[in-house]
Structure 1
Amino acid sequence: MLNEAPSIPCSVCVIIPMFNAAGSIRQTLDSLNDQTRRPDHVIVIDDGSSDEGPKIVERYLAAFPLTLLRQANEGPASARNNGMFTAKETFIAFLDADDQWHPQKLEKQLALYDELTRKGHKVGLIDCYQMSEFPDGSQQLEDRCKTGNHFEDFIHENVINGTSGVVVVREVVTALGGFDQTLRYAEDRLLWTRIAEHWEIHTVPQILIRRGVNGGNITSQPQKYYPHKLKFIDIYLAHYGARLSKQQRIHFVLANHADFLGTFSRRGDHAQVIQVFQRMLEHSWQTLFFFKGKPTLRFLYALTKTLRKAS
């Protein structure tokens, strides 16, 4: 059955992991009420919140069936899996508790899925463009456009524009076991790669997501998430390392470390920059020239600052 495309119309369940999101969950649910094609079911998974978020969900007047599940704080992978394996609908759409959808988001994605499957495409995932909005008012557009087979692309980077833009066939993700719950960072990239290994990935080339960037992301808490990135590297290579060339493995490891080295550098955390660079250099001498030498320049700057402070 996994090789057979569901026929439209189909049912959609929206999965929302929530942790202390009292300030945003109402707006997130409002964006679902405003959909031109409303979801058939919405499941909010309270991941051990200590604020009023669960009460807001319980009192919310939804134009769709709304279920609140509760669990101890186990991270977004566990929360999404909890909702995903509870759902019975044909499609799963993910939405974070501080993000909002454009009113036509579901309508446009399901229409693209219908068009592609009628043409014989084996589609496992559809996303869309995303606009991230930061507390200082700045914005960042995520507009990677996918049109089919993209497994190789995930070796270099996560080419999904944002988890809140993803619609997947439920039987595809449940057959893969969902998200790796041992990870609290990059678990999405691992699952998207596993989907891309067997199914096509496509994009609606329009901004249909507004992502609210808050204090819980990598930019503000890199020390919290870096150990999970190290674990992700090991798990990813355990899955796919044998399929990569030596050079691809080197690039994969260095690129993943470099993400955090850059974040630590921008925050002025010089000790962490030095530590990450040394870890990269232990893996390969190519670190010296990687990304046109930017990690090396950041390391030298951090080293100079550290030595001056010590003297």
Structure 2
Amino acid sequence: MPDQAPPSPHSVCVVIPMYNGADSIEQTLASVAGQTRLPDHVIVIDDGSTDDGPQRVKDFAAPFRLTLLHQANEGQASARNHGLQHTEETYVAFLDADDRWYPQKLEQQLALFDELSRQGRPVALIDCYVHNDYSDGTRILENRQKNGRHFDDFIRANVLNGVSSAMVRRDVIMQLGGFNPSLRYSEDRFMWTRIAEHWEVHTVPEVLLQRMVNSGNMTAQPTRYYPSKIRFIEAFLDHFGPRLSKQQRIDFALGAHSDFLELFSRRGEHAQVIDVYRRMLEYSWQTLIFRNGKPTLRLLYACVQSLRKAVASTTAH
């Protein structure tokens, strides 16, 4: 185990939602046990698992207080909220059941919180740089840097470097009521944007998280996630729309839909490309020139390919 850092004057709890995490939860907990500054409490929320992940949590020899909670399968937002209700520490760090922290993650984030607090900065959320490791061996660095007020940035995109990179003031997230349990997609961005609306967001400029990206994510299954994305867009605009300009609302909606249009296009799902583009046009004619016209070019390609398929089908009969 790494040498332990001097204790921070503040306490920290780690909240880990888990659904069928038997293959990874022990490595995840081991990365927490290997921190140079151990957490005061770790809460794992079993979100209706059907494997032996919960038993592996029970059997883990933790050098910290470890609590296992259970609930029916209700999604990560609900699971994180369940865990939050059992926290009492100053800060909460979130960690997914298949991600791993590098040893100085908690120590460096707590140190930055302490430094900024001494300066009188109203900081409520700190993340770090991230290694995204894909199953094909590809590694991509996420290093979006934050150092103050970033509400407008979160309107344009999720600029946090992953849920498992986040450490947040408990009093702030509880004041905001936790994550929106009605959202099964981007519930984290919704929360980070709410925090950024009133408080500062900062980044430790070091890679302190290894995020494991598997085939069950949005990139591999856009059809599965797109309806949840539509629900997120609606909820986001309902909440933040009144304080946004018309152009900000248009940019947000077109950007959110365009991400999926690109995914569908790459997968050759032409009917879905056409459907997403139609939804974008309902927001604004600016769809035609959005992102230098790339969605429009993808639409034209999808239309051509769909027409070719229809002609080939007719000829075959």
2:188 equivalent to 1:188: yes
Could you say which residue in structure 2 is the equivalent of 1:65?
65
Q: Which runs of 5+ in 2 are unaligned?
A: 1-6, 312-317
Could you say which residue in structure 2 is the equivalent of 1:218?
218
| Superposition pairs of residues 72-111 of structure 1, within 5 angstroms | 72-111=72-111
What is the DSSP-based 3-state SS (H/G/I as helix, E as strand, rest coil) of the residue aligned with 1:140?
A: strand
Q: How far apart, in 2, do the equivalents of 1:193 and 1:282 lie?
A: 25
Could you say which residue in structure 2 is the equivalent of 1:4?
none
Farther-moved stretch of structure 1 (213-222 vs 148-157): 213-222
Q: How far apart, in 1, do the equivalents of 2:231 and 2:272 lie?
A: 17
Cα RMSD over matched residues? 1.2
1:155-177 residue CA offsets vs partner (Å, 9 max, x unmatched)? 10111011001000111101100
What is the DSSP-based 3-state SS (H/G/I as helix, E as strand, rest coil) of the residue aligned with 1:70?
A: strand
Could you say which residue in structure 1 is the equivalent of 2:121?
121
Displacement, 1:141? Answer: 1.2
Could you say which residue in structure 1 is the equivalent of 2:10?
10
What is the DSSP-based 3-state SS (H/G/I as helix, E as strand, rest coil) of the residue aligned with 2:85?
A: helix
1:6-58 residue CA offsets vs partner (Å, 9 max, x unmatched)? x9511111000111111111110010010000111100111111112111111
Counterpart residue identity of residue 255, structure 1? G
Could you say which residue in structure 1 is the equivalent of 2:4?
none
| Superposition pairs of residues 118-267 of structure 1, within 5 angstroms | 118-267=118-267
Could you say which residue in structure 2 is the equivalent of 1:21?
21
Displacement, 1:216? Answer: 2.4
Q: How far apart, in 2, do the equivalents of 1:280 and 1:25 lie?
A: 40
Displacement, 1:140? Answer: 1.5
Counterpart residue identity of residue 177, structure 1? G
Could you say which residue in structure 2 is the equivalent of 1:280?
280
Displacement, 1:76? Answer: 0.4
Counterpart residue identity of residue 247, structure 2? Q
Displacement, 1:282? Answer: 2.1
Displacement, 1:274? Answer: 1.1
Q: Which runs of 5+ in 1 are unaligned?
A: 1-6
TM, length-normalised to structure 2: 0.94
Percent of pairs identical after alignment? 62
Counterpart residue identity of residue 91, structure 1? Y
Could you say which residue in structure 2 is the equivalent of 1:298?
298
Q: In the comparison of the two structures, how many residue pairs are matched?
A: 305
Q: How far apart, in 2, do the equivalents of 1:142 and 1:226 lie?
A: 23
Counterpart residue identity of residue 142, structure 2? E
Counterpart residue identity of residue 308, structure 2? R
TM, length-normalised to structure 1: 0.96
Counterpart residue identity of residue 93, structure 1? A
Q: How far apart, in 1, do the equivalents of 2:236 and 2:205 lie?
A: 28
Displacement, 1:286? Answer: 0.9
Q: How far apart, in 1, do the equivalents of 2:279 and 2:57 lie?
A: 44
2:47 equivalent to 1:43: no
Give the structure with higher Rg (CA): 2
1:117-165 residue CA offsets vs partner (Å, 9 max, x unmatched)? 1111111011001110111111221111110111111110111011001
Could you say which residue in structure 1 is the equivalent of 2:268?
268
Counterpart residue identity of residue 109, structure 1? Q
Displacement, 1:94? Answer: 0.1
Counterpart residue identity of residue 47, structure 2? D
Runs of 4 or more consecutive aligned structure 1 residues displaced over 2 Å after TM superposition: none
Q: How far apart, in 2, do the equivalents of 1:284 and 1:216 lie?
A: 32
